[in-house]
Amino acid sequence: MPLTVAGVSNALPHLQGGRLVALATLGGERSRLVPDIPTPAEAGFKGVDLSLWFAMFAPTGTPGTVIETINRHLVSTLKSPATVGKLEAMGFDPAASTPAQLGERMKRDEAAFAKVIRDGGIKAE
C-alpha cells in the first residue's frame, strides 16, 4: 500500500479528487480546510505536532521599527478576505503572529526535533 506524508496544500486536490485517503493531519489541531481529518492525537499518536508553517525573516540588526512595520502590513495582508481566499484555495490556512510568537514557535520546534534526533540516534552522514 503506497503511503505519503504531504502538506494539505499538496494533498488537497488529490483528496478532493478521491485519489488519496487521509489518515491524519500532522498538526496539533484539525485543519479548517479538511476538518473531517483527525489530528495525530485523535488517530492514536500522542505528542505529534508537525504543523507546516512559513515565516518571513529579516537580517540581524534590522531596526525594531522596521520589523514592526513589516509585521503590521503582513498581518493586515494575511487577514484580508481576498488573500485568505486565494491562500485557502491553494490549500494553505493563513495565520499571522508576532515576531515574539514566531520565536517561541521556533524554540518549541527546535526542542521537539532535537529530542527526536537524540532519541532516534540520528546522525548526519
> Residues 69-93: pLDDT tens digits?
999 999 999 999 999 999 998 888 8
Rounded distance between C-alpha atoms, residue 4 and residue 22, angstroms: 10
Are 119 and 108 in contact by the 8 Å Cβ rule? The answer is no
* pTM of the model as a whole: 0.75
Q: Which of 67, 51, 24 is nearest to 108 (CA)?
A: 51
Please state which CATH class domain 1-52 belongs to.
alpha beta
What phi and psi, each to the nearest 5 degrees, are found at residue 117? -65, -45
The domain limits of the chain are 1-52, 53-125
Q: How far apart are the first and last CA of the chain?
A: 29
Rounded distance between C-alpha atoms, residue 50 and residue 39, angstroms: 10
Q: Is the pLDDT of residue 32 over 80?
A: yes
Please give the share of the chain, as a percent, with pLDDT higher than 90.
57
Nine-digit cell at 36? 473531517
Higher pLDDT, 2 or 96: 96
